[in-house]
A and B are shown apart, each in its own frame.
Chain A
Amino acid sequence: MTGASISIRRRLTRMLLLSSSVVLGVTSLAFCTYEFLTFRQSSVQQLEILSHAIASNSTAALAFDNAEDASGVLAAFSADPHIVAAALYDARGNLFATYPKTLDAALVPEHAGDSGYRFTRSALLGFQPVAAGTERLGTLYVRSDLGAMYARIRLYALIVTLMIAVSLPLAYLISRRLQHQLLKPILALGDTARAVSERSDYGVRAKRSGTDEIDLFTDTFNQMLTQIQGSERKLRDQLSRLSLLQHITRAIGERQDLPSIFQVVLGSLEANLPIDFGCFLLYDAEQSSLTVSGLRLASGTHAKELDLSERSMVPIDQNGLSRCIAGMLVYEPDVREVPFPFPQRLAAAGFCSLVFAPLIVENQVFGVLVVARIREQAFSSGECEFVKQLSEHVALASHQARLYGALQKAYDDLRLSQHTVMQQERLRALGQMASGIAHDINNAISPISLYTESLLERETNLSERARGYLVTIQRAIDDVARTVSRMREFYREREAQLTLERVELNRAIRQVVELTRPRWNDLPQQRGAMVDLRMELAESLPEIMGAEHEIRDALTNLIFNAVDAMPTGGTITVRTRELALTEGRSRSLVEVTDTGVGMDEDTRRRCLEPFYTTKGERGTGLGLAMVYGMIQRHSAELQIESEVGAGTTVRLDFPTHASSVIYPSQMTRPVVSTRRLRILLVDDDPVLIKSLHDTLQEDGHLVSEAQGGQAGIEAFAAAHQGAERFDVVITDLGMPHIDGRKVSTSIKEIAPTTPVILLTGWGRRMIDENETPPGVDRVLSKPPRLTELRAALAELLP
């Protein structure tokens, strides 16, 4: 810059000096030329005047032929030292007199020439006529050297030199001063430009100097600076917003749930954009409503007037919000002029400018980002654009979070199903084992049952004590059979699909209470705690339609929970009642109430979630979830009332089957067949065959036995060939190689009219489910009751 200024300064000086020199030179030249020309002219005129005077004075001398006097007159030329020669010629043109008297002849022509003056190289000479009146008397010749002119020229040269010598330094000084005036603003401008370029400070401004052109220049420069400053500020804003956008995007990318994404976005906006108010509204297209989710208020604003909180509903205005829901970015520079409820609420809270940005995923608006500032007109177009872009990012992140949530839920469901499947598998294995055990037990106790029944019936001469023992044995056998039956029912394999059956709730409850007795009675007792279980069951409770085993499982879980809630003991009350509704419909309520520790609000809200447990390692977190699943499958309702320290009540509310009637308890009457029958017994268990053989034979029947299915079919076929055919076949179901189903089919092939009674360890289940195999006329469960067997025979063979 210094170099440049010096250069400018030098150039200006040079220009000024050069132009002054040129002007001076031209002026001097013109002046000199003018002077030279005028001097020549004036020289001629002077010489002419002088000559005229001399000529006039010499008239008399010429007229009266006085050469002496003529010479005297010519001597007057001595006054002018430059006149080197003069001469007078008479009227005839002959030389009459000369000046000076002694004269170089070359300087004077011999005869007079034409009148007039002319310059030669070295002299100005001329002829002047001498006349008196009109009479020409002679001619005067004058010759003047040019010394005067040369002297004049020398003088001019001197003057010009002096003038230049004086004026150039003067011009230099003036130019320096003027330059200073001129350069000062330019240098100041240069300093400003340097300050701008070195410090990138676009806020500095060049000062006006008071000179029009420079001011114009300065103004233009300042205007340019203003523009650059504006652009730079815009660029910086853009950059900062971009970095904010990146920051927010990164932050929300790390989060997978909407509330935390919203909080992060609003927090960043509040801190960095900044905004005074921000919230997210989630849009429910079905209900056409907006719900506040995520709210940020700058401190010192009027939160009370705003009257907004999480989950509060916001009506959709005609103007701003509805346009935003339609997918447009809405900017209200001054909400005080917007006559709609939501902007008015914001205006009442002191916010003047606001922006609604839609959150759009896959062309669907699912929410609105609202940002507001206290000032009016506070959002620049750049900020609006930023909010728009941000809303797109947020929408994307929210979408991802939703997808992630759905994925998580699917994963959880999968894990739950896996768990359930595993549990079912375990239960299935247990069920199979239990079935096997039940079958064996049934087989094993069948002779006991048969013989006891037979003895009590036939042996009339038994002592009272023996009879008493037998009755006890019979009751015990019944208990065993019932226990086995219940056990098998409980562990029985679940159907893939829920098949609804009539369920008598009171019976199911009794069963569950009995089955869970070890848990609520024995285990607490071992710990020294006393749990009292009370059943308050309504009489004549209507049946419901449902899956009994699921209901039992649910009740079991509820009782377990109740026990767990009372580590120091207490009372469990299981209550059923009917809730009558209109139009003959009613609901059946089952309540399980404990006096345990209860649940707080959070636990109560979350207790139905899968894997939510308060039992630590002991709990799976699936108990109530399964209950809830059952409730949902039964179109029932679940209510949980709880208070910390005051116990919990879980209420199951089942819809009652419309046509349900009170379950009549089936009474069996002893029927004894009057006919003597030929009976074929087929079983692989010799003890059972023997006991059946004995008891049936005692009834008067003719009993044959076959050990195993194959033997039975052969025996029947053989007898069928002969005269003594079997009236009825009683076959066991589970036999190696050929089981009861095949036996019955074969027999029906041989003799379609011969009844087949199937005995089975799974018999009750078959009866319950009406699952009679082809060819079987009656299914009886083990242990066979003699009365049931007689009734079946009497019914099949009247």
Chain B
Amino acid sequence: MDSFAKTRRRILGRALAFCLCGVFCSIALTRAAAGAESASEYQVKAVFLLNFTRFVQWPPEAFATPNEPFVIGILGNDPFGPRLDEVIRNERIGEHPLVVHRFRTPEELGDCQMLFIALSDGPTIARVIAGLHHRSVLTVSEADAAAEHGAMIQLATESGHIRLRINVDAAHTAGLVISSKLLHLAEIVGTRPGD
């Protein structure tokens, strides 16, 4: 390897490290400004939401245009506050810029690619999901047994750690492909019959 290339790589590496440092610093600052405990939990969950976009593949028909914004919808009472907005700021999924749409009720629910269902009632969740009509919307919920009620990913908290429970069938039905890496971390569940 010639010294020029080496030098270039070294420079690139340093630049990257600098950028990462900047990112981490901004994240740390925003997180520090939030509340102590719950802030930490939803901070992580916000990052999780962002990270899901990296381990799930949407079909092309999910977007009307190539540079249409990638919409993260929050249905119900938003637990994130401004944290999610901060996490997704300046982030893009491919060509798509990330935006957060908040929906108060299921009736208000508009187009989105990912939907965080901030509801706790399982049948409601199931109804909401059914109302999506198998559109390519990644449904995420932190409600207990949400996965069994049709949510594609359930964020479960066990002894201080956030665990993932994933309903692969639901995702499959919606035309979404969930990375095996993600599946590897998660507990795979199926939709409870009768829901």
Contacts and interface: CB of A to CB of B under 8 A. Distances in A.
A91 B164 CA distance: 20
B51 to A, nearest CB: 4
B24 A116 contact: no
Interface in A101-123: 114-116
B20 A60 contact: no
Contacts of B20: 91, 136
Taking chain A's interface residues, is the majority helix, strand, or loop, or is none over half, making it mixed? mixed
Interface in B180-195: 181-182, 184-185
B104 interface: no
Interface size class on chain A is 20 to 34
Contacts, number: 48
B143 interface: no
Interface string B48-67: 10010011000000000000
Interface string B9-38: 110011011001001100000000000000
Contact of A132 (B23, B24, B48, B55): B55
Contacts of A60: 55, 179, 181-182, 184-185
B41 to A, nearest CB: 12
B44 interface: yes
Contact of B185 (A69, A91, A132, A135): A69
Q: Which of B9, B20, B24, B164 has the most CB of A within 10 A?
A: B20
A64 B51 contact: yes
Given A64-B51, A132-B54, A114 B13 contact: yes
B24 A91 contact: yes
B39 interface: no
A70 to B, nearest CB: 10
Interface residues of B, number: 22
A309 B16 CA distance: 133
B162 A114 contact: no
A57 B181 contact: yes
A123 B79 CA distance: 49
A92 B54 contact: no
Contacts of B16: 129, 136
A133 B54 contact: yes
Contacts of B23: 136
Given A91-B24, A133-B54, A135-B54, A114 B185 contact: no
Given A60-B182, A60-B184, A136-B20, A116 B9 contact: yes
B13 A115 contact: yes
A63 B9 contact: no
Given A60-B179, A91-B24, A66 B9 contact: no
A561 to B, nearest CB: 142
A61 interface: yes
A59 B182 CA distance: 9
Contact of A59 (B10, B44, B181): B181
A65 interface: yes
Nearest to A64: B185
A66 B187 CA distance: 13
Contacts of B182: 60, 64
B162 A64 contact: yes
Nearest to B182: A60
B195 to A, nearest CB: 26
A65 B47 CA distance: 10
Contacts of A135: 51, 54
A53 to B, nearest CB: 12
Contact of A63 (B14, B54, B161): B54
Contacts of B161: 65
A63 B13 contact: no
Contacts of B162: 64-65
Contacts of B10: 114
A61 B24 contact: no
Contacts of B179: 60
A64 B17 CA distance: 21
A57 B183 CA distance: 12
Interface in A271-315: none
Contacts of B14: 114
A115 B10 CA distance: 9
A63 B17 contact: no
Interface in A128-144: 129, 132-133, 135-136
B86 to A, nearest CB: 15
Interface in B67-118: none
B13 A64 contact: no
Contacts of B48: 63-64
A114 B17 contact: yes
A59 B55 CA distance: 9
Nearest to B1: A41
Nearest to A62: B51
Contacts of B9: 116
Nearest to B164: A64
Contact of B44 (A61, A65, A116, A132): A65
Interface in A38-91: 56-57, 59-61, 63-66, 69, 91
A619 B9 CA distance: 150
Contacts of A65: 44, 161-162
Contacts of A64: 48, 51, 162, 164, 182, 185
Contacts of A91: 20, 24
Contacts of B185: 60-61, 64, 66, 69
A119 to B, nearest CB: 13
A259 to B, nearest CB: 112
Interface string B153-195: 0000000011010000000000000010110110000000000
Contacts of B44: 65
Nearest to B48: A64
Contacts of A114: 10, 13-14, 17
Interface string A131-168: 01101100000000000000000000000000000000
A136 to B, nearest CB: 5
A579 B164 CA distance: 188
Contacts of B164: 64
Given A65-B44, A132-B54, 13 more contacts: A60-B179, A61-B185, A64-B185, A66-B185, A69-B184, A69-B185, A91-B20, A91-B24, A92-B24, A114-B17, A116-B9, A132-B51, A132-B55
7 contacts: A60-B179, A60-B185, A63-B51, A64-B182, A65-B161, A91-B20, A132-B51
Interface of A: 56-57, 59-61, 63-66, 69, 91-92, 114-116, 129, 132-133, 135-136
9 residue pairs, one from A and one from B, having the closest CB atoms: A60-B181, A63-B51, A132-B54, A60-B185, A66-B185, A136-B20, A60-B182, A133-B54, A64-B185
Interface of B: 9-10, 13-14, 16-17, 20, 23-24, 44, 48, 51, 54-55, 161-162, 164, 179, 181-182, 184-185
